Amino acid sequence: MQRRPTKEQSRHWTNCLGVCHFTAQRTIEHCLPRAHRIINMRGLINVGTHCAVNSVLQCLYVTDDFRITYSTVASELTSVLRDMDRNTPGMPPCDPNPLVDALIRYSGMTYEVQQDADTVFKCVLNALADDGDPRCKQASGLWTIRKQQSAKCSTCNAECVSHHAANNVIVYIGNNEPNKLQDYMDDYSETFRVSDYHCGTCQEETELNVTTDITELPAVLCFTVARGQRCVQRGELMVNTGAIDVPEELDCSRMCATSQPTKYELYGMITHTGPYEFSHYAAFVKKMSKWYFVDGDVVKQCPVLPLSYYNVPAHLYMLMYRRI
């Protein structure tokens, strides 16, 4: 399937800013059954604009290979993850503020307003990669996707090949795109054309055919659903609440020709609720074969797979899959 990114898709919403609508946007929580007794999960304090950080932290906490190496990562991240491990009944929620302060010092982002969860996730991985400790870089590399890009002139076939990396796959919804993640991956392609291209080889004004192939899949695969879209009539950014069908197990064999295992299991989900300007993030995470809903200091065990809950598929924003 060939996809040409639209302006809305290329902008995405990785720079989403807005005050966290903490009290009014717990749409997902209201759909959950009555809370079960929690003995092995801890929530995180949310002062009003940290729900993106908290949701990403909960997904990192249940990433097994990442947690094995967290004793060597940046001190603030190490501290909060260790604190989350001390989860005896009756303990108060953990305080992520030292980590938030470290992210501010590293990236220059402000956390007085809500940051996008995808931006926070990438900021954490970049900070680990820049830490200097090779084991920190190894931890951040759990999500690294290797790609090869070919740009070919449509007139003389002159080709330029480059290699680069990413740490997530963007999933576009609507505009005749598949509404099932498995179908989307089966037809996955990063092929598009660039018009009005001047070729330095044949000196012609022509088109450039760009194809990107995935050459190596990571141990942990992150998907980000592109829910930001621009309303033509109003000229403002809106949230696309189209539902996406997400499987517990995902086969990525058509995405990449590799000898490595290509089957993944779902273990973490970050949801986005509310309008573009007043967004709120929460997380569903799988720990010891049980699913939990975590929203700030609220922790609830899910008696069934959260994907079966009403309205969850329409609010899924980030998905974490680990290789089986």
Give the pLDDT confidence of 26-72 residue by residue, as tens digits.
556 655 655 554 557 888 988 767 788 899 999 999 998 776 455 43
How confident is the model over 180-210, as pLDDT tens digits?
999 999 988 888 899 989 999 999 999 999 9
H helix or E strand, kind and range, residue 210? strand 205-216
Question: Is 238 strand, coil or helix?
Answer: strand
| Average pLDDT for 70-96 | 81
d(CA 53, CA 109): 12
- Name, in order, each residue with C-beta under 8 angstroms of 257's C-beta and a sequence gap of 6 or more: none
User: What pTM, to 2 d.p., does this model score?
Assistant: 0.82
- Helices 97-107 and 51-61 pack at an angle, to 10 degrees, of 100
Helix, strand, coil % over all residues of the chain, rounded to 5: 25, 35, 40
Domains along the sequence of the chain with CATH: 9-145+167-187+216-323 (3.90.70.10)
What is the SS3 assignment for 151? strand
- Which pLDDT value is given to residue 233? 66
304 Cβ neighbours under 8 A, 6+ residues apart: 291
Q: Say if residues 29 and 183 touch (Cβ distance below 8 Å).
A: no
